[in-house]
Each structure stands twice: as structure tokens, then as C-alpha cells.
Amino acid sequence: MNQIAQHLLQVKERIAQAARGASRNPEQVRLLAVSKTKPLEALMAAHAAGQRCFGESYAQEAATKIDTLRQQPEYNDIELHFIGPLQSNKSRLVAERFDWVQSVDREKLIERLNNQRPASMAPLNVCLQINISGESSKSGTSEQEIFRLAELVSHSKRLVLRGLMAIPEHTSDETVLAAQMARMQTLFTELARQYPSVDTLSMGMTEDLELAIAHGSTMVRVGTAIFGARDYS
């Protein structure tokens, strides 16, 4: 078994243990393998090990990978999520290639993705990103804007509202993290009550997935624990 396959097994066991510890069914939590900055071969190795959902953050880099994969029928079952900050001038690259966008945080982006999504493709699944920690360095909209943006997505013919995404504060203080995650869980519950299509709370990464699952996360985004540390040089 190759290293990526071993790492996938280890992460899935962590997810299962965390879910059971929170009295949840492990099948309620999906694993999104974050393959950003990683070579196409790493993604292919994860696919060979059974992983089907992948997350990318850089539109141009991701477009190159996706265009290569789409030429090979064996990769038609891959589900691709865009999870990074999305500039308006890169929205077409994403609208024409991805299955999900988890980082929608403003009205202009909703309009562009809806207008640019090809009619020949299934509607684009959308998660609204909340800047739950309130950090100026992070993308995401405010809590106050979520329900207005949700209404806009719900009335967009080429988009489907699926839920919320957040990147809580990078801190070792679990009290701070837990408070932010609990707030996300509350907002998610409120949104799901209003919109039947909402079923996804994307929250938790390599370092904090257990805490996120304890607070209702239905999708954890894991890169380092699967593919190793990233080289941004």
C-alpha cells in the first residue's frame, strides 16, 4: 500500500472515532481531500485508494489538473470542490469545471457563478463562507449577511444552496475554537430549517477535525495528513 493510501485510512479512522465519540454515525461525515499545490499524481494515487472528493484553492492550477482528468474516463467519478478565496475574474474557470464552490461570500460572485455555469452541467453546489473568527486576514462574509446571500443563491437557476463553510481561528485555545464552531453549528441549523437543500457544514481540518465533528461538521477538509506538508515556494 502506498503512503497516501495509508494516510487516507488513518484519517478515515480518526473521523470514525470522532463521530462515535460524539454519538454520531461516521457516515454522516464526508472527507474532502485537499489536493491544492499537490501534483496531479498525488490526486491520482488518492483516487486509486478510493478517495473521490477533492478540494482545490487556486483556480488556474486547479483548471489545469481538471482539464487533464476530464480527458480520462476513469476519473469521471471525481467530485471537485473549490475551497479557496475566489476572485471575480477567475469565476468562469471555476463555474465551468467544479462541482462545488465552498467559498462564496458576496453577491457579485453569486451572480457571476450563476451566469457562467454552463447549462449542459448540473447546477453548481454552493456553500457560503462565514468569517466566523472575524479576522481581517480571512475571506468570508459576516453572520449578518448569510441569510441575505442564501436567499440570492436559492433564487439562482444554475446554483444550489448546500450549506456553510468556515475556517475557525488558528489557535491552540480549544475554548475559543469550540465557541466559534458552536456558533457555526447554530447558524447551519437555522439555515437548514429554512432551506431543504442545505445539508453541509464544512468545518474542520487536519488539526481540529475531532472538535469540528463534535460540533456538527458534516465535511472535514484534510490535506496535510493525507498528502504531507505543502511547499509554497
- Which residue type occupies 44? M
pLDDT > 70: percent of the chain: 98
CB 110 within 8 A of CB 124: no
Interacting residues of 11 by C-beta distance below 8 A, sequence separation 6+: 31, 222, 225, 226
Provide the strand spans (E) within the chain. Answer: 30-34, 53-56, 79-82, 100-104, 124-130, 159-166, 200-202, 219-222
Per residue in 77-106, pLDDT (tens digit) is 999 999 999 999 999 999 999 999 999 999
Whether the per-residue pLDDT at 232 is higher than 70: the answer is no
Per residue in 40-67, pLDDT (tens digit) is 999 999 999 999 999 999 999 999 999 9
Interacting residues of 16 by C-beta distance below 8 A, sequence separation 6+: 26
Per residue in 148-207, pLDDT (tens digit) is 999 999 999 999 999 999 999 988 899 999 999 999 999 999 999 999 999 999 999 999
Degrees to nearest 5, angle at CA 169 with 165 and 173: 130
Q: How many CB atoms lie within 10 A of CB 67?
A: 10
Query: Model's pTM, two decimal places?
Result: 0.96
DSSP tally for the chain: helices H, then strands E? 9, 8
Whether the per-residue pLDDT at 1 is higher than 90: the answer is no
Q: pLDDT value at position 233?
A: 59
